[in-house]
Chains A and B, each alone.
Chain A
Amino acid sequence: MKTNDIILQTVAKLASLVILLFSIYIFFGGHYSPGGGFVGGLLASGAIVLLLLAYDLKTVAAILPIDYKLLIAAGLLIAVLTGAGALLFDAPFMTHTFSYFDVPLLGHTALHTAVLFDLGVYLVVVGVTMTIIQTIGESE
Chain B
Amino acid sequence: MNNIVFLPVLLPLLTGIVLLFFSKSIKFQRVFSVLSVLAGILLAVMLVGKVHGQGILTLQVGSWEAPFGIVIVADMLASLLVLTTNLIGFAIIVYSFYSIGKERERFYYYAIFQFLLVGVNGAFLTGDIFNLFVFFEVMLMASYVLLALGGTKPQLRESLKYILVNVISSALFVITVAYLYSVVGTLNMADISRKIAKIDQPGIVTVIAVSFLIVFGLKGAIFPLFFWLPGSYYAPPIPIIALFGALLTKVGIYSILRTYTLLFYHDQGYTHQLLGILALLTIIVGVIGAVGYWDMKKIIIYNIVIAIGVIIFGISLMNQQSLSGSIFYIIHDMIIKAALFLLIGIIIKITGTNNLREISGLIKAYPYVGWTFFIAAISLVGIPPFSGFAGKLLILQGAVKAGSYIGMAVILLSSLMVLYSLMKIFINGFWGIPRAYPDADRVPVKMLLLPAVLLVGVSIVYGFGTEAMYPFISQATEPLIDPGIYINAVLKE
Contacts and interface: CB of A to CB of B under 8 A. Distances in A.
Shortest 3 CB-CB distances between A and B: which pairs? A73-B20, A94-B62, A95-B63
A87 interface: yes
Given A70-B21, A76-B20, A84-B14, 19 more contacts: A69-B20, A70-B20, A73-B17, A73-B20, A73-B21, A76-B17, A80-B13, A80-B14, A84-B10, A87-B3, A91-B63, A92-B1, A92-B6, A92-B60, A92-B63, A93-B3, A93-B72, A94-B61, A94-B62
A77 interface: yes
Interface size grouping (class) on chain A: 10 to 19
A90 B63 CA distance: 11
B377 interface: no
Nearest to A114: B62
Nearest to A75: B17
Nearest to B9: A93
26 contacts: A69-B20, A70-B21, A73-B17, A73-B20, A73-B21, A76-B17, A77-B14, A77-B17, A80-B13, A80-B14, A87-B3, A91-B1, A91-B63, A92-B1, A92-B59, A92-B60, A92-B61, A92-B62, A92-B63, A93-B6, A93-B61, A93-B62, A94-B61, A95-B62, A95-B63, A96-B62
Interface size grouping (class) on chain B: 10 to 19
Interface in B58-82: 59-63, 72
A91 B6 CA distance: 12
Contacts of B2: 92
Nearest to A90: B1
Interface string A76-110: 11001000100100111111100000000000000
B74 to A, nearest CB: 13
Contacts of A95: 62-63
Contacts of B20: 69-70, 72-73, 76
A120 B372 CA distance: 47
Given A80-B10, A84-B10, A92 B17 contact: no
A69 B108 CA distance: 11
Nearest to A93: B6
A70 B18 CA distance: 10
Most buried by A among B2, B14, B62, B72: B62
Contacts of B14: 77, 80, 84
Interface in A4-27: none
A93 B63 CA distance: 8
A33 B23 CA distance: 39
A16 B388 CA distance: 63
B19 to A, nearest CB: 9
A52 B21 CA distance: 26
Contacts of A93: 3, 6, 10, 59, 61-62, 72
Contacts of B10: 80, 84, 93
Nearest to B3: A87
A92 B14 CA distance: 17
A30 B17 CA distance: 26
Nearest to B1: A90
Contacts of A96: 62
